[in-house]
Amino acid sequence: MNSVQRILGLESSCDETGVALVEVDGDAPPRLLAQGLYSQIAMHQAYGGVVPELASRDHVRRVLPLTREVLSQAGVALQDVDLIAYTQGPGLAGALLVGAGVAVSLAAALDVPALPVHHLEGHLLSPFLSVDPPEFPFVALLVSGGHTQLMRVDDVGAYEMLGETIDDAAGEAFDKSAKLLGLPYPGGPHLARMAEFGNPEAFALPRPLLHSGKPDFSFAGLKTAVLTQVKKIGDSPCEQTKADLAASTQAAIVEVLVKKSLLALKMTGLKRLVVAGGVGANSKLREQLNAACEKRGVRVHYPELSLCTDNGAMIAMAAALRVQRGSAEPRRDGGFEVRPRWELGAA
């Protein structure tokens, strides 16, 4: 196998089609050559959430044109790709099948291997694409619309679960609370913007499991508390009241995420924290984590803002790091399966 390898990564687990090309040269840090992303947000807004069948059909339309665009940006011919990585799961089954089918078909046509990648591992390793990449070992806070987990990470593939949500994810708490406030899909970013103009102490909202002494999360009770407050303020609250409730909701979520992250750091004795996933783009979360960790001599690493949401670059990077460590298990037999439910670290 050549010392220089070009890895094409395809991401299609939900409502974003992502394609990226990463170059691996020996033991040097993998280099992102080009990437492209198409978001389906506008299409799903009319329904207030992701419609799986529409998501799958749109991936079919977008993935090949986006691949051509990325290869053109990089100045690389399709025939010069050495490996094709794709998201195997978790995610929407139909959406995953599109990416997997295209990846394996392209690999067969090019006579190169195809490598299935865990979506959460992609998020977990996405900060290695930043200008300030982390070093192993570290504690990782994976926080998105579907997952909220704290993990000890000793190396690529060496993950120990420390704690996770027992019900809703943090991203769900943002999105569902935003919907209760009448904000458009996707609600989380809209709630965060509205919160900038509100008083975070205006409403006394619960912080579930905050003092449990364990690094587990729970956000379902917070969503119920927000619903109760929405009913109290009536059908036509003023914008300031809505902003206050948005700010109070965000403050509750962020406080739990920060305190649980600090607990995980204390439990492990590690001095490095990696934050990944869509909620990791939240400015208030970054501000409070940075302040709390600085006091404790802890380094915090984030992916670039453009890489917080689902993207092909994180899939290509995860594949590249596994290739470098010799832990990749690519296939050449043209077969594949998708895993809509798949715990990180499970076989």
Binding residues: 119, 123, 142-146, 175, 188, 282, 310
Q: Is 119 helix (H, G, I), strand (E, B) or coil?
A: helix
Query: What is the spatial distance between Cα 34 and Cα 70, in angstroms, rounded to a whole number?
Result: 6
Cβ atoms of 323 and 22 within 8 Å: the answer is no
The number of angstroms, rounded, from the C-alpha of 175 to the middle of its chain's C-alpha atoms is: 15
Q: What angle do CA 60, 65, 67 make, to 5 degrees?
A: 100
Annotation: binding site for Fe cation: 119, 123, 310
Query: What is the spatial distance between Cα 310 and Cα 214, in angstroms, rounded to a whole number?
Result: 29
**76 Cβ neighbours under 8 A, 6+ residues apart:** 6, 21, 33
CA-wise closest residue to 117 among 321, 281, 332: 321
Annotation: binding site for substrate: 142-146, 175, 188, 282
Strand order in the sheet with 114-118: 31-39, 16-25, 4-11, 83-89, 114-118
